Amino acid sequence: MVSPLLAEHSIARRLFLSAAIWIVVILGVAGALLSAYYRTTAEAAFDERLGVYLRALVADVAISGEDQTSDFGELGDPQFELVLSGWYWQITRLDTEKPATRASRSLFAARLPRLADQGVPAGIGGARSGFAIGSDGRRLRIVEREISVGDNGLYLVQVAATTEGMDAQIARFELALAVTFILLAAGLLGMTAFQVSYGLRPLRDLEGAITAVRLGAGERIEGVYPTEIAPVADELNLLIAANRDVVEHARTQVGNLAHALKTPLSVLLNEAGENDGVLADKVREQAAIMRDQVAWYLDRARAAARAGAIGASTEVAPALDALLRTFRKIHGDRDVVCVDPPAAGARFLGEKQDFEELVGNLLDNACKWAARTVEVSVTLKRGGAGRSTLDIVIDDDGPGLSPDQREEAVRRGRRLDETKPGSGLGLSIVTDLAAAYGGALTLDASPLGGLRALLRLPGV
């Protein structure tokens, strides 16, 4: 059975997908905002650290001027002493024809690029900060500031550091953030799926109760339902009860009509039987036709009322066994066998007497025309949403019928051979009664050489 969350047109899927989309969107936006905030904070902290070194250098330049001592630029960080460590400082005098440059030992023979030459605007106090590519190809974060010490000159003070550590720190945070949000999303989606499944469980219970009534396993919808669904269950119970009342009323009215018509017809037949002549014969003939017609239409009215009833079902195996035993006794010279018995628990969605009339008429017709053998097979074909079909196939080894005769045989009151007993209503009764249940009767050539009757009915 397909899960409600996977079914194409289901409330559960709509609720789950809408919640899932919102969860993904909200967590995605929150993750992007947190990642951007952390990156901004990390860069600000990195700039603050570089700014401390920059202010220390500016202070050294402002104090020392041209008379710089040997400990100039000692910032207390050993990374500025290691060659190409990624942490550098550089001081360049700008007011001379040939700018003089002093740099940290870590910068070795390389030089830092100027942010001003790259178009980076100056901030408050003339300071600049930005990214540039160093001589070793690494990405550097640079802060610089021009400082004038009066007669002692104009200097550009720069501090730079590789962003590898900061980038690795940001990458670790983003990975941890992604893993956390993925786990959070999975948890929220799981909770959403459980919530949807739990919240819609009463609807599935109601569906099961309705199916039980439709299949004849219950007479009404039982159970306690939430306040949102309880009125629906109550209304359905009222509808089922009203349906039963209508069917029972129809049966009563049909029975009353049958009794009301049978008496006048019997009087006409009796009166005609006591007289001779052309008129009496005609009255008997027409009265007999009227009686058959009335009986036929009354039977159809009863069948239509029963077919419209909710909750009627008949177990196939015992009903079919009873019919087979009966016809074996009536037609002792025929082998009436069931070559493919029905599956255990197979049921016909209808009244037992209608099943007996449907199959009984077909068996009676097959036994009348069979030379020796009549075979019966029953197949239950499962369908979706509890909708199944019951195929009953009856074969005989009689003379069979041509395609035109098969079409003629199902017409009401038509008899292809007047030497056989019957009113000619059997196959047409089966056709109309099967149609009342949404089924059908098909006649075809049988592998035994005679006629095959395929009766398709609703089953479960």
Q: Which residues, 6+ apart, have CB-to-CB distance to 157 below 8 Å?
A: 54, 57, 58, 61, 89, 90, 91, 144, 145, 146, 147
Tally the C-alpha atoms within 13 A of residue 109's C-alpha that lie toward its C-beta: 0
* Alpha carbon 224 to chain centroid, angstroms: 26
pLDDT at 299: 65
pLDDT at 174: 94
Task: Report whether 93 contacts 155 (CB < 8 A).
Answer: yes
Task: Report whether 66 contacts 152 (CB < 8 A).
Answer: yes
| Residue among 441, 454, 447 at smallest CA distance from 377 | 454
Phi first, then psi, for residue 81 (nearest 5°) are: -100, -20
Q: Is 70 exposed, middle or buried (0-12, 13-18, 19+ CB in 10 A)?
A: exposed
Strand order in the sheet with 128-133: 101-103, 87-93, 154-162, 139-148, 128-133
**Alpha carbon distance 146, 127 (integer Å):** 7
Return the CATH class of domain 314-459: alpha beta
**Alpha carbon distance 297, 301 (integer Å):** 6
pLDDT in tens for each of the 460 residues of the chain? 446 666 667 788 888 889 999 999 999 999 999 999 999 999 889 989 998 988 888 888 887 755 544 456 667 788 888 888 889 999 988 888 787 888 888 888 888 988 888 888 887 777 888 888 888 888 899 999 988 887 778 889 999 999 888 889 999 999 999 999 999 999 999 999 999 888 888 888 888 888 777 776 677 888 888 888 888 888 888 888 887 777 777 777 776 776 777 777 777 777 777 777 777 777 777 777 777 777 766 666 666 555 555 556 788 999 999 999 999 988 888 888 888 888 887 888 888 888 888 899 999 989 988 989 999 999 988 765 557 888 999 999 999 888 888 888 776 544 444 434 444 456 777 888 888 888 889 899 999 989 999 999 988 7
Q: Which residues, 6+ apart, have CB-to-CB distance to 162 below 8 Å?
A: 86, 87, 134, 138, 139, 140, 141
pLDDT at 378: 92
pLDDT at 423: 41
| Residue among 61, 53, 59, 101 at smallest CA distance from 79 | 53
Tally the C-alpha atoms within 13 A of residue 112's C-alpha that lie toward its C-beta: 34
**Alpha carbon distance 55, 288 (integer Å):** 124
Task: Report whether 404 contacts 275 (CB < 8 A).
Answer: no
Give whole-number Cα distances, 234 to 198, 342, 431, in Å: 22, 36, 37
Buried b (16+ CB within 10 A) or exposed e, 234-258: eebbeebeeebeebeebeeebeeeb
